[in-house]
Every structure is written in C-alpha cells, then in structure tokens.
Amino acid sequence: MRVTQSLSQTQFLSALDSLESNLSQTQNQISSGVNFTTPSQDPIAAGAVNNYDQALSQSKQYTANGNSAQTSLQTEDTALSQLQSQLQSLRSLALEANSGTQTGEDLSAIAEQATQIQNSLLSLANTQDGNGQYIFSGFATQTQPFSLTATGATYAGDQGQNQVQIAPGQTLASGDNGDVVFNQIKTGNGTFTVTANAANAGSALLGATTVTGAGGYSGKTYSINFTAPNAYQVVDSLGNVVTSGAYTSGQTITFGGAQVTLTGTPATGDSFSVTPSGNQSLFTTVQNLVNAMQTGASSPTAVPGLNNAVATALNNIDQAISQTSTVQASVGGRLNTITTQQSVQTSQQTQLQQSISSLQSPDYASAITSLDSQNTTLSAAMQAYTLTQGLSLFKYIQ
Amino acid sequence: MSDVFGISISALQAYQTALAVTSNNIANANTPGYAKESIDLTAAVPQTDGSAPIGAGVQVASINRAFSQLAENQLNTSQSSLGQLNSLQNYTGQIDNIVGTSAGGLSTALQNYYNAWSTVANDPTSTAARQALLSQAQSVASAFASTNTQLQGLNSSVNQGIQQDVTQINSIGTSIAALNQQIVTATANAGGQPPNDLIDQRDQLVSNLSQLVGISTTTDSTGAVNVFIGNGQALVLNDKATALTTVGNQFNASQLEVASSANPTVSISSQVTGGDLGGLLASRTQAVDPAINQLGQIAIALNQSANAQQNAGLDLSGNLGANLFSVAGPQASASSNNSDSTTAAVSITNVGALTANNYLLSYQGGAYSLTNAATGSAVAFAGNGTAGNPITADGLSIVLSGTPANGDQFLIQPTAQAAGSFAVALTGTSQIAAAGAIQTSAGGTNTGSAAISSGTVVNAANPNLLNTATIQFLSPTTYSVNGAGSFAYTSGGNIAQNGWQVQISGVPATGDTFTVQSNAGGTGDNRNALASANLQTQGVLSNGTVSVNGAVSSLITGIGSQAQQINTAQTAQTAINSQAQQSVQSVSGVNLDEEAANLLQWQQAYQASAQALSIANGTFTFFMDSINGTYS
C-alpha cells in the first residue's frame, strides 16, 4: 500500500480531532459531575432520569401535602380537645343541676354558665384556620357554618370532606365537617332514647338504659304507661300491650330488646316514650338543657321534669363526648398515618436520588481511568506523528 | 558517431521531461484532486540499414495520470453517504440539544404544574395558590412554544440549506459542463493525449458534487463525463448542464422541495438521496417534523386531560370549569395539484388512539386511500368521508366538503400545529375548577346507618348535572330517585343519574333520604384539584397507557436514540470514507520519498547521458586530432 504524506497528515488530523473530542468529553464528565448533557449520550438513561425526576418531584409534593394536612388536622385536633373539655364542663354542670339540692338561683347561675359554654361551643364550631377558612363547614369553607337559633343552631356548611394525597393511591381526609362533629349525634344511648312525658306529675326518674337480647333493639317505638303508681304497661305504636308488670322504684323494664331502669314514684297516667335514636345537634341538646334549667329555676314544682330533662341531656352529652372522641381518635390516626407516610416518602426520595445519581453521575474510577488512557493515546499519537513526519528521503540527498 | 549524439540528446531531453514531471508531482503534493503523473518512456524505433539494428535512443510516449476509476467512484459514493450523515447529524444533534435531558424545560414545567395543582388542593380558596397554578400552566405553554419555535427554526434552516446546496450544485454542474468541452477539444488538439490537469480539475469537481448530492457518472467515448442525480435525472450531459431549482411543497408552499429546471413545478425531492442535500431533506422528514409532531402529541394529550378534568369541576363562582388550555386542532391541507376545491376537515375523536404521524388521503378511481405520509404504508380506516359517515382512523375523523376529483390528495397533520399553538385559556384565578361539581348529603333525620359517597362526575356535558336529585329509600332494600321508580338497593352499588355517579353503602332505614346537588358554594372543596394533580401519572396516550410525562420521557429517549444512531453511523461512515480516501491516495497520491528516489534516478540517468555525450565528443575530438596529427 502506497502511503502519501498528505493522506497521513489528513488522517492524523482527523484522529487528533476525535481523540481530543473524547478527551474533552471525559474531562467534562469529571468536572461537571454529570454523565450526559444531551439524551444522545445515553438515551435510555435520559428517559429513565426524566421518569425518576417526576417520581421524585411527586414524592416531595406528597411530603408537602402531608405537611399541609398535618397543619389542618392539628388545628382540628386542638379544636376537638377544647370541645372535649367544654363538654366535660357541661356534663359537670348538668350533674350539678341534677343533684337535687339546687335552689332556683343556683339553677339560674348554672343555666347562665351553660349558656356561656354554648357560646364557647359555637365559637369552636366556627373555628377558622390560619387562612381564615372555617374548618367545620365541609366544602363551604368561606361560609360560617353555625349560627344560634332559639332551638339550637342552624348548619350552613355541607357534608363535604376534603382529601389529601399523601402517597400514590393513598388519600386521607384533611378534616371533618361540622355536620359529623356537631349535628349527627345520636340521642339517648345511641340505639334508642327514652323521654319523660312533659306532663308527668309523679317523680319517676329515668335511670340506665341498655340494649339487651340476641336480636338487639327492635327499632320500634314504645310507650311505658303507668296505670297505677305501682303498675306499668308497655304498649307499642299500635296500642298493643307488649308487656306489663308491677313497679317498684329501681324497677328494670325489659321489652323489644330494650332495658329501661326507672326510679322514684310515678303518678297514675305518667308515661315515658321509647323511640329509636335519631340525630340531634349538640346545640339543640345544650339549648334544651338550658331551657329545662331555666324552667326549673322559675318553677320549683317542675323538679322531676327538670331531672328527666337533664338526664336526657346527659345521655346526649355523653353521646357527643363519645362522638368527639371518635373523631379525635380518627384525627390522631390520620396524623400517625401522615407521619409514617412522611418517613416512607423520605426514604423513597433518598432511593430515587440514588437511582438518579447512579444514572447521571459519572463512575469516577472508570472516568479517570479512561481520561488517563485517552491522554496516553493522544500523546502517543502526537509523538508517532512527529517521528514519522521527520522521515524524508530528501534529508539524505545532499 | 552521430548515433551516439542523437541517442544522448534524446536521453537528455527525455530525462529533463522526467525531472519536470517529478518536480510537478512534488509541487502538487498537496493539491486536492491532483493525480500523480508518471512518465512513460519507450525506446525510439531504430533505423535499419540491413545490418544489425542499433537503438535510436529514448522517447517520451506519454505522461500518465495514476488513476483508478473504481477507487474514485467508491470515494464519491462514500462521500455522498458521509455528506448525508453529516447533515443529518447536524440536525439530530441540534434537536438533541434543543430537547435535551428535560425536553426543553417541559418536564420540569410539567412537574411544577402538577405540584401547583396539589398546592391548590391543599388550600383551594387561596388566590396565591391559584395564581401559582396559572403561572406554572403558563410555563408549560412557554416550554412548548420555545421548543417548537426552535424546531421550526431548524426547518427554516433546512430551507436555506436546500437553496444554498442547489445554487452550489448548479455552479459545479456548469463548471463540469465547461470542463467537459475543454477536455474534448484539448484531447483532439493534442492528438489523443489527455489534458491531465483539466481532468484532475473536473474529477475534483465531481468529487465535490458528490459531497453535496448523491450522483452517478458515466464517461463517454470523447472523454466527457455525464452526471446524474436521483433516478437518472441528468445534471450534466456532455457540455450541457441542467440546473436544479426549488419549488414549494404541494401541501405547504413554505416548505422548499428540489425540482429540475427542465420541469420546474414537479418536486424530485423524494428521489434525491445522499450528500448534504439528501441529508437536509432527510433531516426534515426523519428528524425535525417527527419531533414537532411528537411534541404536538404531548401538547394535545395534556390539553385533553387537563380540560376534561377542569370541565368536570366547579370554579369559585360555582360554574362548571372552562377549558384551562387551548390548542390548535389537526390540519388538513389540499394539494396544490388538486383539480377541484374540495376541502377536508379533521377532528380528533380519541386522543388515546392519536399518533404523531402525518397521513396522506388520496381519492383515486372512486375510492379513498389513507397512507402514512412518512412510510407510505396503508392505514386502515372506516367511513366514506361524508358528515354522516366520516372517515375514521387512528382517533381522527375526516369529513370532506364534497366528492373530490380523481387524483386529489390531502395531507393530514394531526399534531403538527399543537405545540406551537398551546396556550393557557384561563385568565382569572377564580376560573380554576378546584371543587367537584356535585356534593352529596345524607338527610338530617335519617335513622339508618347508610352513608353516601362524595360522588363522581362521569359526564360533565349532561345539562342536568347540577340539578338537585333526591334518593329516597322506600324500604331498606329499594329506593326511588326524585320520587320516581323503585330500584333495588345493593350496598356499595353505583347509582347514576344526570351525569354523576354515587355509591350508598350500609343499612338504610325506610324513609332515609340522600341528596345530590350542585356544589356551588363549596369553595373549599379540593376534589377536582386533587384529581387534576393525579393526572400526572394517569395514562392518556396509547389507549390510556402512557401518561403525559411518560410521553415526554419517550420523546427524550427517542430523540436521543436517533441522534446516537446517526452519530454511530456517521463515525462508521467516516472510517469507510477514510479508507476510500486512502485507496484513492494510494493510487493517485504523491509520495515524496518516491519522488525523491525518482529524482535521483532521473538525475543519474541524465548525468550518464551527458557523460555519454561527453565521451562521444571526446572520441570524436580524438579522432579529429588523430587525423590532424597525421596530416599536419
């Protein structure tokens, strides 16, 4: 093969070009810490890094969502704790009112305190978060949810509940609406409720109520009628006598899966109605309690009525306390879930960062090795060129 | 004795010529296209006079170019391939840089956009969060716009390149034709001796031409070379050059195509391959346009998914959400060759089936045919193009304004305009539909334990969507909707009405009611914002299997792979080309050492001949002196 000087020159130059460009690419990798700057240098890795980047950004957003939900839930938790303590105060007041030693003035004072508690409850129910949004109005966060009325309070919110995404496919509620917390509170013992007839003339008082029997409460409406101070009859809504018997104070009456204990002395014609539990607003419960105490304060003769009304209210307050506890437990559970998920997300972010850097960062050991070998090749090529270019027959022609 | 003089002088002349040829070789050692010349010496024919013939000296038979047509043709072919790859590499490399590892900023913009939806979901009434969302949406639109502008810029540069190449090809073609004429004349004048330097020049021009466009050549008996491009389109025939020209594409006048001046309205682009020109044409159809289409496909997917979700929610004013983004629809262009004015209207019916391809719709012999514009392969379709029965294929619906004339063609570009036209349509933060369209509630006097789900919108277009509907339980196992009907109740089963769907689960009591109504006023609701944020990973394209971001990743990988593949091919072709250069050079190149040896050889021969002349002279003088001595 004939080799000409101009060809070897051209070929040396093009070899030099490619050697220098490789060297510069390796040098770039090492100095920038990035394996590739355009997708063509590693198309598969470039696509994969884009996917990992998205997953990382999403995971960070889940953490941010969790933080936001944490703030909302902590605000709610604080409100619920205060609600719980107000309800306990209210319960103490009710027990105090029912102790039987209160004068009319005392009752007035207690009623006054209960009214104040009602106002506190109202302000709790209308709690706003840091952004001025009502936390207990469902979706209608810009509408004040509760306003007092003569019989309780109206609810202007809705039954909406916002969800927050804290992990792929995992959402949790960032709050609870006021309807659930304040309105949907079961009356009585949660299954049925016993109410003394307002016209009762005797002093029979409602005691403990329980659900009994294998089938549970029948769900029907009953009336316990006293045919004499020492005899009772339970009739259903159709007027059929379900059961009857002799009455003594502390008598437990069992019918239709319900067990009702009554104490005191009824008058003939007194009655207690037994109905399935419905929902009653906490504010209605408080208003009824206040009304009963005010009535009791103005007419001392209505003491059995007061006692029965307070007993009903106590049942309802207990239901409210239990409802609040349930909601608070659920809030606590959600806060726990967020904390757990936050740490899952954090470790996931670390993993994703590692995956990205394993694709994106150069393997320094091999990069430096190839830098070295490229460097050697380049200097060898240069040396070889100068050596061969020095060879010329003309040098020897004198 | 005169023989010796004659022989010596012929030798002196021959070696002078040989030294001149060698010097000329040395002088042109670095001249591109120069083919090494060698001298062909022959012994002069002796004049016989009946006795034993004595040689009559040496004479120069010819001066030859060291040349291999085979090697030259191989080099030209290789240069054409390399020229095409260089040009393609230029464009795929630029696209590689424009799209880059973040799809021109699109992937970051998309992440921020979806995260902004999450921020709105975390605080739906916050104007700041809503404003941030609009800004991020704007960033997405800007990323589409800037990437698209840069890609469109490449098409302008392709147009310029085509024009420059055509000008240069024409200039070279004219020069080759002129040289052909000179070579034919000079050969005749020199009695059949070839004019080596002119031939060198012409071959160099042919070689330059092969870098611009793929060519084939033939040499005719007169020594003229004929040059053809494409499928035998003559560029140079003997001393006549046929110029190339540019013509607007039949579907898009702003896109330049190559035509021959012999038939200047017909594009021959599809026949042109190789060289820089072939590379430019291939860059446009194989790299730039597909990238624009793919980007457009992503824009359409984002537009579709974001708007559909926005339409299913309520804005702060309690209205169903208006479109968040806007994007240009598919484009159908009639060929300028169509013989009537029938137009085609195209719409997208199913984004999931949409591709990034362009299509060619032809009407021939009373029937339509639909082909992939890039590959020419047939695309299955249904329908006859009327409004009642549109042509449907790949998620598109095509309606023609009438029956086209025979031979009419339409280019359908479903996604080409999308990325450039992608824009944010919403102007006010209150128009962002963060809330779900409907809200559900359980009646306050319900005694059963059944609960209703928050409900989902399945058809946002239902005009009764926001009407209030009441579901009442007639018994624990049956219910009516708005007082009508008696439907069997299954806990957790779907109840659909007015475009929404809810589930009621648990044990209802007779008389329990549930209400589904407009969520107007539910400004703190984040359901729709949450759903919008979740679109990030939801499949939209490829029948709902590829998310918007997935499509971005595919774009990055696709662009990168193409650039990588061209880079590899270019490197390989460079090696092949260097070998082709080597084989040409090994035949035609000047080796200075060889020339040095030749110089010595000719010098020695010249010196020896001069010595012979000197000896002849000495002999003659001695002879004359001898005679003079005898007679003096």
CB burial string B228-256: b at 16+ within 10 A, e below: bbbeebbbbbebebbbbbbbebbbbeebb
Is residue B567 within 8 A of residue B91, CB to CB? The reply is no
Strand extents, DSSP E, B232-279: 233-237, 240-241, 244-248, 256-260
**Tokens in use for A218?**
């029948």
Is residue A56 within 8 A of residue A360, CB to CB? The reply is no
Helix, strand or coil, per DSSP, at residue A127: coil
Answer whether B122 sits within 8 Å of A46, measured CB to CB: no
For residue B562, the chain A residues in CB contact (below 8 A) are: 40
| pLDDT the model gives residue A190 | 87
Cα–chain center distance at B492: 55
Quote the minimal CA–CA distance from B351 to chain A in Å.
22
Answer whether B600 sits within 8 Å of A397, measured CB to CB: yes
Q: Give me the percent of chain B exceeding a pLDDT of 90.
A: 83
Give B326-340 pLDDT, tens digit per residue.
999 999 999 999 999
SS (H, E, C) B72-86: HHHHHHHHHHHHHHH
Quote the minimal CA–CA distance from A312 to chain B in Å.
19
Quote the minimal CA–CA distance from B482 to chain A in Å.
20
| Those residues with Cβ within 8 angstroms of residue B146's Cβ, 6 or more apart along the chain or in another chain | B104, B105
> Quick check: ipTM above 0.95?
no
pTM > 0.90: yes or no: no
B-contacting residues in A 197-236 (Cβ below 8 Å): 219
- Nearest CB to A2 within list B441, B444, B591: B591
**Tokens in use for B524?**
């703190």
Is residue B392 within 8 A of residue B381, CB to CB? The reply is yes
Give B33-83 pLDDT, tens digit per residue.
899 999 999 998 877 777 777 788 899 999 999 999 999 999 999 999 999
B-contacting residues in A 162-201 (Cβ below 8 Å): 162-165, 168, 171, 174, 179, 183
User: Residue A321: in which H helix or E strand, if any?
Assistant: helix A303-360
Is residue B507 within 8 A of residue B448, CB to CB? The reply is yes
Q: Which residue type, as a one-letter code, is found at position A155?
A: Y
Neighbouring C-alpha atoms within 13 Å toward the C-beta of B433? 26
Residue in the block written with tokens 């190339």: B244
| Closest alpha carbon within chain B to A135 | B524
Q: What gap in Å lies between CA A280 and CA A316, rounded to an integer?
A: 8
For residue A140, the chain B residues in CB contact (below 8 A) are: 521-524
| pLDDT the model gives residue A218 | 83
For residue A43, the chain B residues in CB contact (below 8 A) are: 556-561, 563-564
Q: What gap in Å lies between CA A351 and CA A356, rounded to an integer?
A: 9
B-contacting residues in A 16-75 (Cβ below 8 Å): 36-44, 46-51, 53-54, 57-58, 60-61, 64-65, 68-69
DSSP states of A180-207: IIII-EE-TTSSEEEEE-TT--S--EEE
Q: How many residues does chain B have?
A: 632
Give B517-545 pLDDT, tens digit per residue.
999 888 899 999 999 999 998 999 999 89
B379: left (phi over 0), alpha (psi -120 to 50) or beta: beta
Q: What gap in Å lies between CA B235 and CA B243, rounded to an integer?
A: 7
SS (H, E, C) B179-234: HHHHHHHHHHHCCCCCCHHHHHHHHHHHHHHHHHCCEEEEECCCCCEEEEECCCEE
Is residue A350 within 8 A of residue A55, CB to CB? The reply is no
User: Regarding the domain delimited by A54-187+316-348, which CATH topology (the fold level of the hierarchy) does it fall under?
Assistant: f41 fragment of flagellin, N-terminal domain (1.20.1330)
Is residue B536 within 8 A of residue A58, CB to CB? The reply is yes
B105-to-B112, B142, B145, B479, B535 alpha-carbon distances in Å: 11, 9, 11, 54, 19
- What confidence tier does B631 reach under pLDDT thresholds 50, 70, 90? low
Answer whether B101 sits within 8 Å of A39, measured CB to CB: yes
Residue in the block written with tokens 């349930």: A326
Q: What gap in Å lies between CA B341 and CA A377, rounded to an integer?
A: 66
Measured between its terminal Cα atoms, the distance across chain B in Å is 24
Helix, strand or coil, per DSSP, at residue B465: coil
Give B148-158 pLDDT, tens digit per residue.
999 999 999 99
What's the mean per-residue pLDDT of chain B? 92
Q: What gap in Å lies between CA B281 and CA A226, rounded to an integer?
A: 104
Q: What gap in Å lies between CA A385 and CA B146, rounded to an integer?
A: 47
| Those residues with Cβ within 8 angstroms of residue A264's Cβ, 6 or more apart along the chain or in another chain | A202, A203, A204, A205, A249, A304
For residue A276, the chain B residues in CB contact (below 8 A) are: 447
For residue B559, the chain A residues in CB contact (below 8 A) are: 39-40, 43
With 60 as the cut, is the pLDDT of residue B632 above it? Answer: no
Q: Which DSSP state fits A52?
A: H
Q: What gap in Å lies between CA B514 and CA A220, rounded to an integer?
A: 23
CA triple A291-A293-A295, angle to 5 deg: 70
Q: Which residue type, as a one-letter code, is found at position B460?
A: A
Domain ranges (residues) in chain A: 54-187+316-348, 195-277
- What confidence tier does B623 reach under pLDDT thresholds 50, 70, 90? confident
Give B169-206 pLDDT, tens digit per residue.
999 999 999 999 999 999 999 888 889 999 999 999 99
Backbone φ and ψ for A368, nearest 5 degrees, come out as: -70, -35
| Closest alpha carbon within chain A to B531 | A165
| pLDDT tens-place values along chain A, 398 residues long | 788 888 888 888 888 998 999 999 899 888 888 888 889 988 999 999 999 999 999 999 999 999 999 999 999 999 999 999 999 999 999 998 887 777 888 888 999 999 999 999 999 999 999 888 999 999 999 999 999 999 999 999 999 999 999 998 899 999 999 999 999 899 988 889 998 888 888 888 888 889 887 778 888 899 999 999 899 999 998 889 999 999 999 889 999 889 999 988 899 989 999 998 888 999 999 999 999 888 888 876 666 778 888 888 999 999 999 999 999 999 999 999 999 999 999 999 999 999 999 888 888 898 899 999 999 999 999 998 888 888 888 888 87
Helix, strand or coil, per DSSP, at residue A293: helix
Q: Does B434 touch chain A (CB under 8 A)?
A: no
Burial class of residue A259 in the structure, from the number of CB atoms within 10 Å of its CB (0-12 exposed, 13-18 middle, 19+ buried):
middle
Backbone φ and ψ for B539, nearest 5 degrees, come out as: -70, 135
Q: What gap in Å lies between CA A269 and CA A249, rounded to an integer?
A: 16
Q: What gap in Å lies between CA A106 and CA A115, rounded to an integer?
A: 14
**Tokens in use for B521?**
């006023």
Answer whether A5 sits within 8 Å of B29, measured CB to CB: yes
Q: What gap in Å lies between CA B80 and CA A125, rounded to an integer?
A: 82
Q: What gap in Å lies between CA B116 and CA B112, rounded to an integer?
A: 6
Q: Give me the percent of chain B exceeding a pLDDT of 70.
A: 99
Residue in the block written with tokens 């799809």: B103
Burial class of residue A21 in the structure, from the number of CB atoms within 10 Å of its CB (0-12 exposed, 13-18 middle, 19+ buried):
exposed
User: Residue B544: in which H helix or E strand, if any?
Assistant: helix B541-544
Give B255-280 pLDDT, tens digit per residue.
999 999 999 999 999 999 999 999 99
Q: Does B543 touch chain A (CB under 8 A)?
A: no
| Closest alpha carbon within chain B to A6 | B30
CB burial string A317-350: b at 16+ within 10 A, e below: bbbbbebbeebbebbeebbebbeebbebbeebbe
Backbone φ and ψ for A56, nearest 5 degrees, come out as: -65, -45
Sheet holding B396-400, edge to edge: B344-348, B396-400, B391-393
DSSP states of A35-50: S-SSGGGSHHHHHHHH
Residue B114: CB atoms within 10 A of its CB come to 25
Q: What gap in Å lies between CA B238 and CA B73, rounded to an integer?
A: 19
For residue B140, the chain A residues in CB contact (below 8 A) are: none
B-contacting residues in A 271-300 (Cβ below 8 Å): 276-279
Answer whether B560 sits within 8 Å of A42, measured CB to CB: yes
